[in-house]
Structure 1
């Protein structure tokens, strides 16, 4: 099994080091251990991990879910949550970030080991299924799994942020019709007004992941999917 780069977000030093030891013993690489929002964001930008272990309750204003939400605005990095909390509200907040696992404290070594191994297996075997009816052919060997919101180039999944997933889903479901910029702003940012550059930046990021193909923009109006053979 190839080594996976893992970031640990945990404010209890002893717990963090215990998790690191378990991960290292399984042959994987802990790229960093951080305990707060600011350090987590800096660490991800400096050395992006392939997987994150994050405690939810960090004893600070912004918890582990807030951190993952911020990270996933730019890139979808899978997460396994660690927490002593199992209330419905916390679980629902966590679910919105599509975690690979959810481990309750106090945990045992086997809890970490089994969850990590299953998560890595899921990531490594996530491939394009040509017989799945939820897959939309976008052209140029790109396919989109509408049901699970996963973009593929040939058989390889491409990481998308949460906003990128929502944008691509809207455009794919529009089936080639133009979707106005105003509608996209309303759906993607329902709780607050945004600057003109925010949506343009999101569309640009998604277009780069599609090699500047598939998505056409119509000046001052909107954008659409332009399928090609």
Structure 2
């Protein structure tokens, strides 16, 4: 059995200890157990982490979802959320990150075992899909990015860049007009299907996309639209 390096981000000691014992019993490695989002980011910078158990309701300036979004900006580590809440808004926000599993408190050993095994399987299948997509035509962008327009798949140093459906659609249309300006009206028509949206909706979506691809040049052309530049 493969052993995975796991990070626990949980500010409740009893829950953190319970998850840790379950993971060790399942034969995996606990790299660290931290209480804040900032500590989690520091561990990510220094250690090789394969899976993260992330409490959504962390104390401090950064909750679990905000922390996960920052992690997604630099890597695609699968995240299993733990929370006492299961409202639709929380789940919707969580799905915008690299969500692989969800544990509602209180949970038991078998819940942890099931979600961890499913995450490992899903991540393996995702890598297989990425591998199969490499057989299709792609364009080499700068800074280690590859884009497969047929499948709308973006890789950074051979790792999948996790984009939401809207972000993926925006990137596709910017790519198909590489080095050309794409207007907000065009994006509204082809990404939002001419729905009534405010100008800030497109702007905010572009901002989120930029954060996920910081090494690519997506520029705002004032009064005209946006452009994806390739040297």
Q: Do the structures match in fold with TM over 0.5?
A: yes
Q: From 218, 223, 229, give the equivalent of 2:228.
A: 223
Residue 12 (structure 1) shift: 1.1
**Take 1:150 and 1:50, find their aligned partners in 2: how far apart are those partners?**
21
Output the CA distance in 2 between the equivalents of 1:46 and 1:225. 32
Match of residue 22 from structure 2: 22
Tell me the number of residue pairs that the alignment of Structure 1 and Structure 2 aligns.
203
Q: Does 1:144 align with 2:148?
A: yes
Cα distance in 2 between the residues matched to 1:57 and 1:91? 13
CA contact (8 A) 2:174 2:227 kept: no
1:191-212 deviations in whole A, cap 9, x for unaligned? 8989xxx96x9767359xxxxx
CA contact (8 A) 2:76 2:159 kept: no
Contact 1:4 1:50 in 2 (8 A): yes
Q: CA deviation at 1:172?
A: 3.4
Residues 188, 6 of structure 1: alpha-carbon distance in 2 compared, 3 angstrom cutoff: farther
Shift of 1:160: 2.2
1:44 equivalenced with 2:41 (yes/no): no
Secondary structure of residue in 2 paired with 1:97: coil
- Partners of 2:26 and 2:169 lie apart in 1 by 37
TM-score (ref. length: structure 2): 0.68
Q: TM-score, normalised by structure 1?
A: 0.69
Asked if structure 2 preserves the Cα contact closer than 8 Å seen for 1:5 and 1:31, the reply is yes
- Three-state SS of the structure 1 residue aligned to 2:138 is strand
Q: Are the aligned partners of 2:103 and 2:111 in contact in 1 as well (CA < 8 Å)? A: yes
- 1:49 Cα deviation after fit: 1.1
* CA displacement, residues 168-223 of structure 1 (integer Å, 9 cap, x when unaligned): 75443446423449979x888528989xxx96x9767359xxxxxxxxx9xxx943
Give the gaps of 5 or more residues in structure 2: 141-145, 188-199, 220-225
User: Does the 8 A contact of 2:72 with 2:212 survive in 1?
Assistant: no
- Secondary structure, in 3 states, of the residue corresponding to 1:128? helix
Q: Distance in 2 between matches of 1:20 and 1:145?
A: 41
Structure 1: which 5+ runs fail to align? 208-216
